[in-house]
Amino acid sequence: MTRIVVVGSINMDLVTQAPRFVGPGETILGERFLTVPGGKGANQAVAAARLGAEVALVGATGDDAFGQQLRQGLAAENIDLTHTIQLDDCASGTASITVAGGENQIIVVPAANARVTPAQVEQAQALITRADAVLVQMEIPLETVEATLRLGHRLGVPVILNPAPAQKLPIEWLQLARYVTPNQHELAILLGADPDEDFHALMQRSPGPVVLTRGAEGAWYREQGEPIHQHGFNVAVVDSTGAGDTFNAALAVFLREGLSIAVRKACAAAALSVGKLGAQAGMPTLHEVEALLAQQPG
Ligand code: RIB
């Protein structure tokens, strides 16, 4: 069985579906409100588990009601929480999300996620050593992201760095990752470049291997210096929240099959994930991914 370790955030998502986004000072009536589990780390862990991997999550929740619900949800997905700490007198992370027309706007309050430490990553070394891949994102302290990249590199375990939410990082960190998986906007921020610069030029300037996500258009990566495009899959979009997380999880789970197969399966998994409201609601099983690939080959 493929073994994945995720180092990352755990949030409760407070999701409002609305006819459109609001402007400053404006009030409108929404259509629906949901409280559902999220957080980039937890989402990637759940997506990897549904795809059949054995998954452990290094993270933190608070000692509040959200924390309890979040832990129960993750345990029900068979995710190993040995290295997910529960902090006293601390709130769990939250994300206030507005969904309108299939797009989203998100404000994250990290709370407990801001206290995920490099020491926790070191303590998970035995698990990381045995892992096929490690996933890390940027809703936890940067020093913990760095510790994950360095440990994975030292142990020879591939680390996929999903640089979201993006900020400029030392070039060396990008070289420690096996793959960096930004969208165009995130890649520009990572490199300190103009966000309107052509994404091919940005990819070429990146010091490490990039798998660039393009939403409904699929993904781009480079093999032997040549840019390769994996097209997106044709699906109806309800909520794109968590699509990037599903992509990253699938990339990690299928990486052993080679980059081009992994990217293709990751695009299919991400497409399936957007069909339901809530980050984790639409995350597919392996069987569902295979069915979509059979239905829309190429
Ligand atoms: O990537 C989607 C996630 O970003 C949401 O679940 C939310 O919690 C934020 O972390």
Q: What is the CA radius of gyration of the chain?
A: 18
Angstrom distance (rounded) from CA 272 to CA 282: 6
CA distance 169 to 192: 9
Å from CA of 279 to ligand 1 middle: 7
Binding-site residue positions for ATP: 183, 213-218, 244-245
Question: Which conformational region is residue 112 in: left (phi greater than 0), alpha (psi within -120 to 50 degrees), or beta?
Answer: alpha
* Most informative mutation of 14, 35, 108 for ligand 1 (most atoms within 8 A of CB): 108
The residue behind tokens 């589990």 is 37
Helical segments of the chain, H only: 40-50, 65-76, 118-123, 125-130, 142-155, 171-176, 184-191, 199-205, 243-254, 259-273, 286-295
Residues making up the annotated binding site for substrate are 11-13, 39-43, 139, 245
pLDDT score recorded for residue 60: 98
Q: Distance between CA atoms of 261 and 53, rounded to whole angstroms? A: 17
> Annotated catalytic, 88?
no
Provide block-wise average pLDDT over 10 residues at a time, the chain (298 residues). 98 97 97 97 98 98 98 98 98 97 93 98 98 98 98 98 95 95 95 90 90 96 92 93 97 97 98 95 97 89
- Residue 298: per-residue pLDDT: 64
Residue whose Cα lies nearest atom 9 of ligand 1: it is: 39
3-state percent helix, strand, coil for the chain, nearest multiple of 5: 40, 25, 35
Question: Which atom of ligand 1 approaches the CA of 164 most closely?
Answer: 1
Q: CA 286, 291, 297: angle at the middle one, nearest 5?
A: 115
Cα of 26 to ligand 1 centre, how many Å? 24
Residue 82 confidence (pLDDT): 98
In the DSSP assignment, the letter for residue 197 is: S
Domains and CATH numbers, the chain: 3-295 (3.40.1190.20)
Token couple for 111: 């709370």
Q: Is 52 exposed, middle or buried (0-12, 13-18, 19+ CB in 10 A)?
A: middle
Q: Which two tokens stand for residue 274?
A: 């957007």
Q: Whose C-alpha lies nearest to ligand 1, atom 2?
A: 242
Binding-site residues, in ranges, read: 11-13, 39-43, 139, 183, 213-218, 239, 241, 244-245, 273, 276, 278
Residue 198 CB-density burial (10 A; 0-12 exposed, 13-18 middle, 19+ buried): exposed
Please tell me the distance from the alpha carbon of residue 135 to that of residue 278, in angstroms, as a whole number. Answer: 21
Q: Which protein residues touch ligand 1 with a CB less than 6 Å away?
A: 9, 11, 13, 38-40, 43, 95, 106, 108, 139, 241-242, 244-245, 279
